[in-house]
Structure 1
């Protein structure tokens, strides 16, 4: 009996509109570099030529700007839900940065983080008197300050504090369960699961917000998942994300045979190693295994940076070959 070809699914995170073909190519190329790093170059052609697995890049980026889907418009500074979520998210991000970048190890970065913390605390303290619009504009000041961090400004991924804040708001808009605004999250999960064959094994590689989407989508998926990989995940951001997930409390999806989470100490968006402590195992005992990787270069919060590591690429290919 011929073994059915497995499926490999890439799920992206926050950001602007994406080109599915180009992103699929870039993620595969990065994974190929990871295979070289893992001394598994013999498998590169099988992966990149599609012999090893059917590879899909799940692109939902257009849904954040799609007319007719509630909650999909760009950042609304007058939306109290959006601004409240962003304040909570920035609070968690700044806590993580303060843990990683101390005055002793990174005095310049620590001063920037201290300035951003002062701005955020002042904005939160005066929130009731300001109104959502003014409060949101003060949050732009916080993200503008964060853009002074060398790791962000050298990457040039965001040119303005408003652009950074708008993309961070995608996390809150996805998790918004308020009335018709829940339609956006449902539409994103539907897009991610579309076209998958539950009769064939599925390996999932998800990044950033994509790990949140994957968590909820995999709880809905009826097929088997030999491996789920999470990269630069905000799932460990406590109440701001964890307490908004469905289902909760957080637990490994029942159809997942192995869950590997990778984080980078210099990932300034979500560089926390605590995810393994906050998610319960599945009923069969499968729980998340977390591993730190150290990326090269100034900006580490991209999927391709993570995929270049042999530690990430090896389990992906091993799961596809099993």
Structure 2
């Protein structure tokens, strides 16, 4: 089994494990090297294909998220997912208004929230918009240029809500990821939806996992996601020894990274060491996994995991 298991996020359904590994691993190696572990960094990438290399694999589940137009959801399921998507979208708007590092973006989010709450337009008519419309007005979601925001928001919310509400999809994804985790696995790194998946897979383990890292995770205190993750009520995975949760303030998909508040009163003796916080630097694409993987905070933890 792999020593490091990587779990990707949304919108990767037409990628492959190999192509994602080729993107993630050199960035992770760069962060490990910057943190003062050059030998481990070389084993991650330079010597990856040799006996000296560290076996790091992408647990790919993107193809499971493909949906054919001939497979519509039942009306009640579709309504539930729309409701969840609206609530999650509103959370993202609130984060933009509260913590974006760019004042114009905060102001734009505040205006979208005001419109969302049904204020009258110039003709005096009440306008009721969806959070998706509001998010589409933010530059953060239009990284690929004008017109891209709506498609990204729709896809992100659709895949996230489908995972949380479709038991068959959830089981297939968890089985796919769990298959790469074994006795030799020292580190599991999950990004975005992959962070939620990594957390749930960790609860399946019946062997120690030295390090769980979640990046840009939508799982957080007082979020919609908190009500839908399994098991309920949420609790730290028993066999995880250390859990590090990192988010950027400009990453609107990431919940506030406060693990202690996520599990109030649920800590038990012998549970994992919980570390969480915001990144020390801002990136141009704050939700991009490349941005997180190159951070020294992550590189230091991975380096330490292989230094013993």
Q: Distance in 2 between matches of 1:175 and 1:20?
A: 23
Find the counterpart in structure 2 of residue 122 from structure 1.
Answer: 118
Secondary structure at 2:209 match in 1: coil
SS state of the match for residue 228, structure 1? strand
Q: Of 227, 248, 262, which aligns to 2:211?
A: 227
Q: 1:297 to 1:119 in 2, by over 3 A?
A: same
Partner of 2:4: 8
TM-aligned CA deviation for residue 42 of structure 1:
2.8
Does residue 19 of the first structure (1) align with residue 16 of the second (2)? yes
Following TM superposition, by how much is the alpha carbon of 1:287 offset from its aligned partner in structure 2, in angstroms? 4.0
CA distance in 2, matches of 1:187, 1:6: 19
Separation in 1 of the partners of 2:144 and 2:258? 26
Aligned-pair CA distance for 1:155: 5.2
- 1:153 matched to 2:142? The reply is yes
In structure 1, the partner of 2:307 is: 321
Does the 8 Å CA contact 1:201/1:223 hold for their aligned counterparts? no
Give 1:301's aligned residue: 287
Q: Is the Cα contact below 8 Å between 1:273 and 1:292 reproduced in 2?
A: yes
Does the aligned pair in 1 maintain the 2:31–2:299 contact within 8 Å? yes
Q: Is the 8 A contact 2:21 2:57 kept in 1?
A: yes
Q: Alpha-carbon deviation of 1:33? A: 1.4
Q: How does 1:194-213 map to 2 (within 5 A)?
A: 194-197=179-182, 199-213=183-197
Structure 1, 234-243 or 286-295: larger mean CA deviation: 286-295
- When residues 82 and 6 of structure 1 are mapped into structure 2, their CA distance, relative to the original with a 3 A threshold, is closer
Q: Size of the alignment, in residue pairs?
A: 292
RMSD across aligned C-alpha pairs, in angstroms? 2.9
Q: Is the 8 A contact 2:216 2:246 kept in 1?
A: yes
Cα separation, 2, equivalents of 1:96 and 1:35:
30
Following the alignment from structure 1 to structure 2, what is the Cα–Cα distance between the partners of residues 223 and 116? Answer: 47
CA distance in 2, matches of 1:304, 1:237: 25
Matching of residue 184 in structure 1 with residue 176 in structure 2: no
Matched with 2:105 is 109
Q: What SS class does the counterpart of residue 271 from structure 2 fall into?
A: coil
Q: Please name the residue that 1:166 is paired with.
A: 155
Q: Is the 8 A contact 2:216 2:251 kept in 1?
A: yes
Whether 2:262 is the aligned partner of 1:278: answer yes
Cα offset, 1:63, TM superposition: 0.9
Q: Report the Cα distance in structure 2 between the residues aligned to 1:282 and 1:52, rounded to whole angstroms.
A: 36
Q: Deviation at 1:116?
A: 2.1
In structure 2, relative to structure 1, the CA distance for the partners of 1:157 and 1:215 (3 Å cut) is farther
* Structure with greater helix percent: 1
Matched, 1:45 2:42: yes
Calculate the TM-score normalised by the size of structure 1: 0.81
Q: Which residue of 2 aligns with 1:141?
A: 133
* In 2: Cα distance, 1:112 partner to 1:233 partner: 24
SS at match of 1:13: coil
SS of equivalent to 1:117: helix
Identify unmatched segments of 5+ residues in structure 1: 124-134
1:156/1:207 CA distance change after superposition, 3 Å: farther
Distance 1:211 1:60 in 2: 13
Q: How far 1:12 moved relative to its partner?
A: 0.8
* 15-24 or 285-294, which deviates more: 285-294
TM-score w.r.t. structure 2 length? 0.84
